[in-house]
Amino acid sequence: MEIKIKNLSKAIKDKELFTNISESLHPKDFVAITGESGSGKTTLLSIIGLLENWNDGFLQFDNYTFTNPRGGTATKIRKHKFGFVFQNYGLFEEADVQKNLNIAFTSKVSQTERQNKIMAILQKVNLKVSVNQPVLTLSGGEKQRLGVARALLREPEVLLADEPTSSLDDHNAEAIVTLLKEFANSGKIVIVATHDARLIKAATKNIHIAYPR
Ligand SMILES: Nc1ncnc2c1ncn2[C@@H]1O[C@H](COP(=O)(O)OP(=O)(O)OP(=O)(O)O)[C@@H](O)[C@H]1O
Ligand SMILES: [Mg+2]
């Protein structure tokens, strides 16, 4: 997928968060959105993911141009092309690991294939938990790796990840950086909001939000 971000501006109430952000993104791009806490990283990521409205400018995904995130085409793109890793993980806390990962699959994927893919991804994110363990019993860092695992299982064209290494120790953070980098290199676009120097270093592009404004 090709993404064009053109003169994007966002204000919340009367407070301007950012103005005139422009960038073109192509397959294999690994983009770091940087800026201080409160600068608007999560907001920008949500806007690019067509989850939140903006004030000015437009977004283009292949041949589709959007001046707002509403409508059927936006919903389809969000559902079929994007994968999200949320800052608060976005998992179903009451359900177990298996159920949370099963959400990533379409009905076409067989039970055996699901199990194989689940085992492979859990190993890649270095998650040594039972698939029957309820998510609410996992540690913060384990939940974070489960969130990344689920997003990768869906193999989205565009992966949007909000601080995907924020709860991780060095070793586990490195593993996630490597995985995301590999995923981008396989022809996808990866966009991360982050403070993590390792992610910023691995990125091919940087969108920096100036703060204080
Ligand atoms: N719905 C809202 N109503 C009022 N203010 C909001 C709303 N959503 C976000 N904000 C404000 O917009 C600013 C940017 O928030 P955002 O979550 O995008 O920052 P961030 O860069 O992701 O910060 P962090 O690094 O702490 O995650 C913050 O000051 C936040 O309080
Ligand atoms: Mg944030």
List, in order of start, the domains of the chain with CATH numbers.
Answer: 3-208 (3.40.50.300)
pTM of the model: 0.96
Mean pLDDT, the chain, integer: 96
CB 156 within 8 A of CB 188: yes
Q: Whose CA is nearest to atom 13 of ligand 1?
A: 38
Sheet holding 3-12, edge to edge: 15-25, 3-12, 56-61, 64-66
Decide: helix, strand or coil at residue 208.
strand
CA angle centred on 158, ends 205 and 32, rounded to 5°: 25
Alpha helix locations (H) across the chain?
41-48, 72-80, 97-102, 111-124, 140-153, 170-185, 197-202
Digit-by-digit pLDDT tens for the chain (213 residues) are 999 999 999 999 989 999 999 999 999 999 999 999 999 999 999 999 999 999 999 999 999 999 999 999 999 999 999 999 999 999 999 999 999 999 999 889 999 999 999 999 999 999 999 999 999 999 999 999 999 999 999 999 999 999 999 999 999 999 999 999 999 999 999 999 999 999 999 999 999 999 777
Q: Which of 10, 36, 41, 44 to mutate to test the pocket of ligand 1 (most atoms within 8 A of CB)?
A: 41
Residue nearest to atom 10 of ligand 1 (CA): 12
The CA distance from 144 to 133, in Å, is 15
**Shortest-distance atom of ligand 1 to CA 209:** 21
